[in-house]
């Protein structure tokens, strides 16, 4: 190719596009809508719940007798105090009518609320019978690092249908 061919091609090109008008930009920038604070918090809760609670994990829990568990390194006296009802739960969670996915989120939110409000003990009501939540809630609690112990609640807090949970709130003085 020589310079004459280039000039000839350029002239042909300009002749072809002579009547064409350029598209005008209307200055609109398309952005994703900003997320609200509630949406962000909900997403964080879902991430926390999914990272702590696995449905496939099967801890060694008692089959007969009251449902109970004690984290390694925690005094067995704490479990006895839970059984006797020495700890008064500051927060209550009623899981009646919840699906598993919703119950996981509520459970994670309850534990976060306990830590935030410095509540040492909480009560989780899962219901009577041999339902899914009654089986799953103890398995989820065992997996959470902030749970020190849990025991079937005394009659005044729900008996067979509830668990009293002892939460590790840090080095603050414990209250009953």
Q: Which two tokens stand for residue 150?
A: 């849990």
* pLDDT score of 58 more than 80: no
Segment 56-74 shows an average pLDDT of: 83
Tokens describing residue 5: 């061919």
Strand order in the sheet with 162-167: 68-70, 147-152, 162-167, 121-125, 91-94
The better pLDDT of the pair 134, 35 is held by 134
Q: Between these two residues, 146 and 56, which has the higher pLDDT value?
A: 146
Averaged pLDDT, 36-56: 75
Q: How far is CA 27 from CA 2, 21, 24, 30, 34, in A?
A: 42, 18, 9, 10, 20
Mean pLDDT over residues 153-157, rounded? Answer: 91
Q: Tell me the C-alpha to C-alpha distance, in Å, between residue 76 and each of 34, 72, 83, 108, 118.
A: 50, 10, 11, 25, 22
Give phi and psi for 150, each to the nearest 5.
-150, 155
Give the pLDDT score at 22: 80
CA 9 to CA 1: how far, in whole Å? Answer: 11
DSSP class of residue 153?
P
CATH architecture label of 68-167 = 2-Layer Sandwich (3.30)
With beta carbons less than 8 A apart as the criterion, state whether 93 and 125 touch: yes
pLDDT computed for residue 48 by the predictor: 67
Query: With contact defined as beta carbons under 8 Å apart, do 162 and 140 qualify?
Result: no
Q: Is the pTM of this model over 0.85?
A: no
Domain limits of the chain?
A: 68-167
Q: Can you tell me the mean pLDDT for 152-175?
A: 83
Tokens of 148: 């020190």
Helices (H), 18-168: 37-52, 76-84, 100-116, 132-143
What was the pLDDT predicted at 33?
74
Q: Let me know how long the chain is.
A: 176
Q: What percent of the chain lies above the pLDDT cut of 90?
A: 36
For residue 49, the model assigns a pLDDT of 63
Is the model more confident about 128 or about 153? 153
Average pLDDT along the chain: 85
Q: What is the pLDDT of residues 71-117, one digit of tens each?
A: 999 999 999 999 898 999 999 999 998 888 888 889 988 998 999 99
pLDDT grade, residue 32 (50/70/90)? confident
Nearest 10 degrees: CA dihedral of 112, 113, 116, 118?
-110
């Amino acid at each position: 190719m020589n310079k004459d061919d280039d000039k000839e091609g350029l002239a042909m090109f300009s002749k072809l596009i002579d009547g064409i008008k350029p598209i005008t930009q209307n200055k609109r920038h398309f952005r994703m809508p900003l997320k609200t604070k509630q949406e962000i918090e909900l997403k964080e809760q879902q991430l926390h719940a999914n990272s702590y609670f696995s449905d496939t994990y099967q801890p060694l829990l008692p089959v007969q007798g009251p449902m109970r568990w004690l984290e390694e390194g925690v005094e067995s006296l704490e479990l006895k105090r839970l059984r006797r009802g020495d700890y008064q739960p500051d927060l209550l969670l009623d899981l009646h009518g919840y699906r598993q996915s919703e119950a996981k989120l509520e459970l994670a939110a309850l534990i976060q609320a306990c830590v935030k409000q410095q509540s040492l003990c909480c009560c989780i009501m899962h219901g009577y019978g041999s339902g899914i939540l009654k089986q799953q809630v103890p398995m989820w609690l065992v997996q959470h690092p902030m749970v020190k112990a849990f025991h079937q609640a005394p009659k005044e807090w729900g008996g067979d249908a509830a668990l009293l949970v002892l939460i590790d709130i840090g080095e603050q003085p414990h209250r009953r």
